[in-house]
Every structure is written in C-alpha cells, then in structure tokens.
Amino acid sequence: MSSGQTVLVAHKSKLYALDATTFQSKWTFPNSTGDKISPTALYGTPAVDAGIVFIPAYNGKLYAVDLNTGKSKWASPFNTGEKLVGGVLATGGKVYFGSSNSKVYALNGANGEKLWSYTTGKEVWSTPVLSGTTLLVTSLDGSLYGLDAASGEKLWSFKTAAGLAASPALDPSGNTVYVAGFDSRLRAIDTSTHQERWAASGDNWFWGTPLVAGGAVFAGALDNKIYAFDTSTGDAHWSRPFEADAPVRAAVVMAGNVVLAVDRKGHVYALSPEDGSMSPGKALNLNAKVTADPLVLSNGQVLISTTGGEMIRIDPTRLEIVSRTKLGS
C-alpha cells in the first residue's frame, strides 16, 4: 500500500517501508536490531491513520508502528489468539479488522484498546469497508454483514451459498455493495434494502476484491478468466470473459485507462474496460509467481510484488517493466 511519501510492501515475515520516489528502505518491521517480534508471516494489507501503521500478522496479533520510524506505538500488540489473514481498515482514529477466530474487531488506534467485537459464523479473511456509519465485512460463513461502526451491533446480513474471502467493493454511489465468493458468484447487494439486485456466475471461485469503474464491475477468478458485468443489471459487459494463462488470485485494478490484471504465473494483462481487448496486444511475462494485489502508484506506474520477494514496477500504458528490485537487497 502507499501512504504519502512511503510505500509499504510485505514479504514473508517482514514489512518494508520504502521511499515512494527512490524505493530505498526507510525501515523494516521487525527491525534488524534485536526486536523480539515474530509475526510468522504477513498476508493482510496494513493500513495507515494519523501517522500510525497498523500491521496484521499471521501470529494473530495486530501491531502498531510509527509511519516515519517503524517503532512501536502501543505498549503491546493486540492479540486475537488466531491467524490474521485479511487486511485492516483504519480511519478516524479507529481500527477495524477480522480474525480467524471468527471475530470482527474495532480498536482505539491511539492505544490499541478494544472498543467492541462481533462474532461471525466462521473465519474473517477479508478487509472491512466503511459505508457511512455501517461497517461491511464478509466471512467464510458465506455472509456479508452490516455492522454499526460505533457499537459493533449487527444491523443486517446477507447469506450466500459458500464462503466469502474477498473484501466487499462499494459502488461510488454507496447504494450497492459487490461481493465475490467461493460459490463462483459475484453478487450486487442493495445497501438500503439488503436484498440481492443480481448475481452473475463464473466457472470457479472469485477470490480477489472486485473493481468497480465506469458502470462495470470487474473480477478475476480461479478459472483463468477475468469477468466484466454491468453494475445495474449484472449482464455481461464484454462479449465474453478474458481468458488468462493461469488462475487470477489478485484483485484487478484500474491503471490509467486500462483494467490491469496479473495471473498467478506472473502474466500481466492490460485490458480495455469497454470490450476486454488486450493492449498492446500481448501479455507481459514477469517470470515470477504473483498472488498479491497490484498497487497503482501516484505517478501512474503499477507496483507488483512477487512471491519471491521482487518489486516490479511497470508502465501500464506500454506494458513494460520500468524496474525490478529484490526486497532486502
């Protein structure tokens, strides 16, 4: 993720804070000077609020460090006791996240004190989304929950046929939330009536967070395809899904005027949002495995992190590699 002049990139058990212009290291977490911290692994996306970075770790703990120095801000991390797989939402001095203990938490961002928790039916592997005063969160129990952000009280829920690991995507109007699931369906849920507006089918699981742009919702799936549906009707926005060379685990992003997607084998595709045609006509092969979501930088370039610990910057308009750097080197 990116925050002002700092880019945060996780690889295995370390978080790297890099200068957004030079990509030189500012600090790492845990640091190399004897921190007795063992995150085990970092899968969920961190968040930044009020100069604090909130880091979810696979050891079940949420850490808080200073954005400029990487030094701890809380007396101790908040421990859920189970793995943290999803990302963090931090806003207005509060921190929201889910755990594999089936709970959603809200904490005071300044000191890490628990404000409330809500128990779902199964693990929460997604990142919560705020819609006004309602916190939207998905669970592997197959439900989308609408929780009161202040109290944690359940306001409503919508049940699907299988687990939901993808984070919900809110329409810019705020009237609709899109959820992608392990039942190979992408659904549009009305945030006022809490009813399904439409459901569209894929041929395998949807895992990455959907992208909403220009009257369409885009999503990659584990069937090696990238889908586009009309936001109003759920009808196919393209004449047919785009066929990638491997499963698409990472979220698709809008980079300039193209929909950019990366499959698991590291093939990068720049697609027209209007018809799904590929520009400039062929994929870019990174020769590396990719499961993390691409990051669109402030200069329009896209940063892709590989499972091998490389950071690859690409120009999405020409679909060319600008630089590739090994983390920790």
Of 329 and 204, the one with more pLDDT: 204
- The strands making up 78-79's β-sheet, listed across from edge to edge, are 47-49, 52-56, 61-66, 78-79
Residue 32, pLDDT score: 56
Structural domain boundaries, residue 92: 1-115
| pLDDT tens column, 23-34 | 888 999 997 555
Gap between the Cα atoms of 282 and 264, Å rounded: 17
For residue 42, give Cα distances in angstroms to 45, 111, 158, 232: 8, 22, 29, 37
Residue 11, pLDDT score: 84
In this structure, is residue 319 part of a structural domain?
Answer: no
Burial of 229: CB neighbours in 10 Å, binned 0-12, 13-18, 19+: buried
Split at pLDDT 50, 70, 90, the class of 147 is very high
In this structure, is residue 31 part of a structural domain?
Answer: yes
Task: Supply the CATH number for residue 17's domain.
Answer: 2.40.128.630
Gap between the Cα atoms of 38 and 29, Å rounded: 10
| pLDDT tens column, 57-75 | 999 999 999 999 999 999 9
In this structure, is residue 105 part of a structural domain?
Answer: yes
The total number of structural domains that make up the chain: 1
In this structure, is residue 50 part of a structural domain?
Answer: yes
In this structure, is residue 83 part of a structural domain?
Answer: yes
| pLDDT tens column, 233-285 | 999 999 999 999 999 999 999 999 999 999 999 999 999 999 999 988 889 99
Residue 13, pLDDT score: 87
In this structure, is residue 37 part of a structural domain?
Answer: yes
In this structure, is residue 57 part of a structural domain?
Answer: yes
Gap between the Cα atoms of 116 and 112, Å rounded: 12
Structure tokens at 328: 């920790």
Gap between the Cα atoms of 229 and 233, Å rounded: 8
| pLDDT tens column, 87-96 | 999 999 999 9
In this structure, is residue 255 part of a structural domain?
Answer: no
Residue 49, pLDDT score: 97
Residue 329, pLDDT score: 57
pTM of the model: 0.94
Of 21 and 306, the one with more pLDDT: 306
